[in-house]
Amino acid sequence: MRVEIVAVGTELLLGQIPDTNSQWLGERLAANGIPSYFHQHVGDNHQRIVLAFRTALARSDAMIVCGGLGPTQDDITRAALAEVMNVPLDRDEAIVSTIRSLFESRGRSMPDNNLLQADVPRGATIIPQTRGTAPGLICNVGLKVVYAVPGVPYEMTDMFERAVLPDLLRRQREAGETSVIRSRVLRTWGASESALAEAVADRFDELEKGGRVTIAFLASGIEGIKVRLTARGDDDDHALSMLVHEEEKVRALIEEKLGDIIFATDDQSMEDVVASQLSSRALTLAVAESLTGGLIASRLVNVPGASAWFRGGVVSYASQVKFDVLGVPEGPVVSGPAAEAMARGVRELLKSDIGLSVTGVAGPEEQDGQVPGTVFVGLSVGENLTHSALRLPGDRPRIRAYSAISALDVLRRALERPEYTRAK
């Protein structure tokens, strides 16, 4: 059962709203082992909707249509479906009275254009509404099936779970397709997509032959490269055991070739990892930021419960603030020693266990004789005062964003060392 999603609405083509429905449906279908190979967006135009539906029905086994079921003149999904099915629209009096009583229960009378929502292509099965007015539809078109659901996410998700998914799974069982999909994302920082691809190249080629497990690389911009493993099994246990086996193999390959670059799995962020390291070691943190200008602190406070381990920070954007507030010695401020002084300074000022700092050149001009992308990360813990020198690519905002995640990665790697178990 290959399912195509067709989202209807001119506002999607004009980019006025994001298409969160297709993303949500894609995720739910994948989690249930139902393949989906194509999505489409089409505007509120009868002929083009018909063309999009015919395209979907030609190349997929089933189609989920989102949107265009409302009561206004530009809600024309029902009419387009009737044309594709080659049947007339019949007004369903039961739906009329349901909608009418819904309005009456709110003390209002039903505007006439709501009658449109009671038009049903002949032969279609109705999916009753529980959260709005427009009912959904299940329509057989030759050997294919169409599910029409509203575009309002709150109504769409309810109808999908309650009626569409059970019907799809039943059809899949009847067709003898029972596989289950499970996936895991390994999140990396510090290696290029091509270096990762090369590290697992042999394994990638082997898997290409088998076809039950796949590896994909997702460049997620400032958050590093994601390595996604996907396993298709006969049932949940089977898929999961293949996935666990594969994860072990791929982790070993990456660590062997590229070191400790996998910082998290699935939806976990770099700050989530640092947060759990700090919490479990009962350590508090303060940050001193120059070129990142508060980015690190704002990432950290996004972690629920940050107040348990995050003291705060100083954004020492002007050099004089570094000298006066953080006690950095007068002189060049883009340097390893300046980063160290910033880390110690903020740790003392804010009375935290650990001080983390970043100073560097975001560009476009050089500073202190250093080219843009030159960044120093300082770390102060107990008697230990260290710094790391980095060279980062990109323009101003990108260098800044890379600096923030790089600094957190420096902290993450340090916190993995045993001497950080307790340091005051």
Contact call for residue 195 and its own copies (CB under 8 A): yes
Angle between helix 270-281 and 396-415 (nearest 10): 30
The string of DSSP letters for 293-315 reads TTHHHHHHTTSTTGGGTEEEEEE
Give the nearer residue to its own copies in terms of CB position, either 87 or 281.
281
Size of the site for its own copies (CB under 8 A): 113
β-pairing, 310-315 vs 285-289, is parallel
Report CA torsion sign: 317, 314, 220, 248: positive
- Lay out the site mask for its own copies across 391-410 (x = CB under 8 A, - = otherwise): x-xxxxxx-x----------
- Amino acid identity, residue 382? G
- Of 80-88, 203-211, 231-239, 374-382, the window that binds its own copies (rule: CB under 8 A) is 203-211
User: What separation in angstroms does the CA of 92 have from each of 87, 145, 373?
Assistant: 15, 21, 66
Give the nearer residue to its own copies in terms of CB position, either 169 or 306.
306
Give the nearer residue to its own copies in terms of CB position, either 46 or 122.
46
Give the nearer residue to its own copies in terms of CB position, either 120 or 200.
200
Residues numbered 8 to 47 that lie near its own copies (CB under 8 A) are: 9-20, 22-28, 30, 36-45
List 33, 53, 63, 70, residue binding its own copies (CB under 8 A): 70
Angle between helix 46-59 and 77-85 (nearest 10): 50
- Residue 270's φ and ψ, nearest 5 degrees, are -60, -40
CA distance 62 to 3: 5
- Lay out the site mask for its own copies across 310-349 (x = CB under 8 A, - = otherwise): xxxxxxxxx-xx--xx-----------------------x
* In the complex, least distance from residue 365 CB atom to its own copies, rounded to whole angstroms: 10
Strand, helix or coil for residue 86:
coil
List 33, 50, 53, 72, residue binding its own copies (CB under 8 A): 72
CA distance 39 to 56: 9
Contact call for residue 78 and its own copies (CB under 8 A): no
Give the nearer residue to its own copies in terms of CB position, either 55 or 87.
55
* In the complex, least distance from residue 385 CB atom to its own copies, rounded to whole angstroms: 21
Residues numbered 95 to 154 that lie near its own copies (CB under 8 A) are: 106-107, 110-114, 131, 151-154
Give the nearer residue to its own copies in terms of CB position, either 152 or 385.
152
Residues numbered 287 to 306 that lie near its own copies (CB under 8 A) are: 287, 289, 291-298, 300-302, 304, 306
Q: Closest Cα partner for 290 from 236, 264, 328?
A: 328
CA distance 346 to 335: 17
Q: Which two tokens stand for residue 204?
A: 């990638």
- Residue 301's φ and ψ, nearest 5 degrees, are -75, -10
Interacting residues of 333 by C-beta distance below 8 A, sequence separation 6+? 290, 319, 322, 359, 367, 368
Contact call for residue 57 and its own copies (CB under 8 A): no
Give the nearer residue to its own copies in terms of CB position, either 11 or 260.
11
Residues numbered 347 to 386 that lie near its own copies (CB under 8 A) are: 349-351
Contact call for residue 165 and its own copies (CB under 8 A): no
Give the nearer residue to its own copies in terms of CB position, either 320 or 384.
320
